[in-house]
Structure formats: structure tokens, C-alpha cells
Amino acid sequence: MTRLSVNVNKIATLRNARGGNVPDLVQCVRDIESFGAQGITVHPRPDERHIRYQDARDLKMVVTTEFNIEGNPIKSFMDLVLEVKPQQVTLVPDAVDAITSNAGWDTLTNKDFLTEVISVFKREGIRTSIFVDPVPEMIDGAAAVGTDRIELYTEDFATEYAKGNFDAVRPYAQCALLAQELGLGVNAGHDLSLDNISYFAQQVPHLKEVSIGHALICESLYHGLETVIGQYLKRLAE
Ligand SMILES: CC(=O)[C@@H](O)[C@H](O)COP(=O)(O)O
Ligand SMILES: NCC(=O)COP(=O)(O)O
């Protein structure tokens, strides 16, 4: 069964918009786990525009499922992960000014760097995953750097699926098979949603975990609106 790790970046974005502690990220994470999520993902960025480094420390105390910290392994990120010791770290080659993650690792040109960084985390007992495009050479390269898992970068799939191009899943299925043959676990994420998740999970074998944030929070907002508006109307009529 594929596990669902909920990325809570967007909850922190909403909290930060007012400067207080609403919504309370820690309480949200407790609730998300009680609703059945099998993991919690955070992706602190250097500007801390959503998840702050302190959030990662605070969440470590409350997450009872799997804690996954994603990010570019710059020194401050590596220090944070080594301090917090989540179950999994996912390395993402995102630029400091990127709006969101927009590429997988070139595992060939970054071979020495990734090998070194991964060995540091593995020495501390932290499972490693690296964000990669569904390209066979990059999967071969991932196996060569010693990572435990890969995370397939699914933005292209999501974009093509929305246009009706369902064949866009094929490279992902092929790379998942290759990864399995090479002894790598397979995760996936980015722009997965209620629209595309069943098809993706049915077509891609050996999928251990998906991390979903942006769409899941938008969908939760939308599906909750009717209930909450009804509650306001009821209170105003009391
Ligand atoms: C690696 C990945 O695809 C997600 O972690 C994504 O980058 C979420 O980050 P943002 O919430 O900053 O878009
Ligand atoms: N690793 C992907 C992730 O955590 C969530 O990405 P998205 O659903 O916010 O695009």
C-alpha cells in the first residue's frame, strides 16, 4: 500500500500571513495524523516563508507517524536535519529564489556531492531520498550515490494528465520498475491531487509513499467551505 505523507507547508503559509499562531501548525499536524495520514512532510526554505526551521524542531516532538524533511542540502539545512533527526530526508535541488521545486537532481554531475551528503545522513540513521525526474540515467545515477529511495518529481505528469495525456505516466512507471530492480524505494510528489492520484498510484508499481501538499490543502479548503458557511449562518440566526 502506498503511504500518504501530508505536506503542511501551506498551513504555515496561512499562519505566517497574519503573524500569529492561527492556524496552529502543531495542532493541525496532530489532527492530520488522527485523520489517518501516514506521514508529515515539511520543506523549509532558506527564507522561511512558510515552514520555519523552528517548526521542524517543534513538529519532531509531536509527529507520531513518519517525519520527512525536504530541502536543498545547504549547510543550515543539513545542520537542522542532523539536529531534528527525522525518519526521512528528501534532498531537492531547489534554488533559493524558486517559487517551488522545479527540477530533479542531475545525479551524474552531482555524484560526488550527493554521495557525501547522503553518507552523512545515513551515518545518523536517517533514511535518504532524492528528488529526480523520471529519466533512467538519473535513476541509475541515484543508485550509484547510495540513496535509500528516490522521489519521482511528478509535475510533468500532473500537467499532462490534466490535458488528457494519460501516457505521461509511462516514464514514471518505467523508472519505478528500474528503481525497484536497483534496490531503491520509490516515493513521488509534486502537484499530485484528488484528480490524478488514483491513476498515478494504479499505474506506477512499487510506490511506497506520496507527499502531497498544495492540492490537498486547496481541496480541503474547498470541501470545507460549505460546512463552515453553514455554521456561520446558523450562529448568526441564533
Ligand atoms: C519537493 C516538492 O515537490 C515539494 O516539497 C514542494 O517543493 C513543496 O514546496 P512548496 O510548498 O514550497 O511549493
Ligand atoms: N514532495 C512533494 C511534496 O511534499 C508536496 O508537493 P505539492 O503537493 O505541494 O506540489
The H or E element containing residue 151 is strand 149-153
Question: Which of 5, 25, 43, 218 best tests ligand 1's pocket when mutated (most atoms within 8 Å of CB)?
Answer: 43
What is the whole-number distance in angstroms between the Cα of residue 9 and the centre of ligand 1? 8
All structural domains of the chain with their residue ranges: 3-236
Instruction: Report pLDDT for 8.
Output: 98
Instruction: Report pLDDT for 69.
Output: 98
pTM above 0.90, yes or no: yes
Q: Is 223 a catalytic residue?
A: no
Is the domain defined by 3-236 classed in CATH 3.30.70.120? Answer: no
Instruction: Report pLDDT for 135.
Output: 98
Q: Which ligand is nearest to the CA of 43?
A: 1
Instruction: Report pLDDT for 96.
Output: 85
Task: Name, in order, each residue with C-beta under 8 angstroms of 208's C-beta and a sequence gap of 6 or more.
Answer: 2, 3, 149, 185, 186, 187
Task: Name, in order, each residue with C-beta under 8 angstroms of 42's C-beta and a sequence gap of 6 or more.
Answer: 7, 8, 9, 12, 51, 55, 56, 59, 67, 68, 69, 70
ipTM: 0.97
Residues 147, 179 contacting (CB under 8 angstroms):
no
Q: Give yes or no for residue 158 CB within 6 A of ligand 1.
A: no
Residues 54, 18 contacting (CB under 8 angstroms):
no
Question: What number does the ligand 2 atom closest to the CA of 41 have?
Answer: 4
Q: Give yes or no for residue 190 CB within 6 A of ligand 2.
A: yes
Instruction: Report pLDDT for 160.
Output: 98
The stretches in the chain having pLDDT less than 50 are none
Instruction: Report pLDDT for 97.
Output: 85
* Residues 19-40: tens digit of each pLDDT: 999 999 999 999 999 999 999 9
Q: Give yes or no for residue 187 CB within 6 A of ligand 2.
A: no
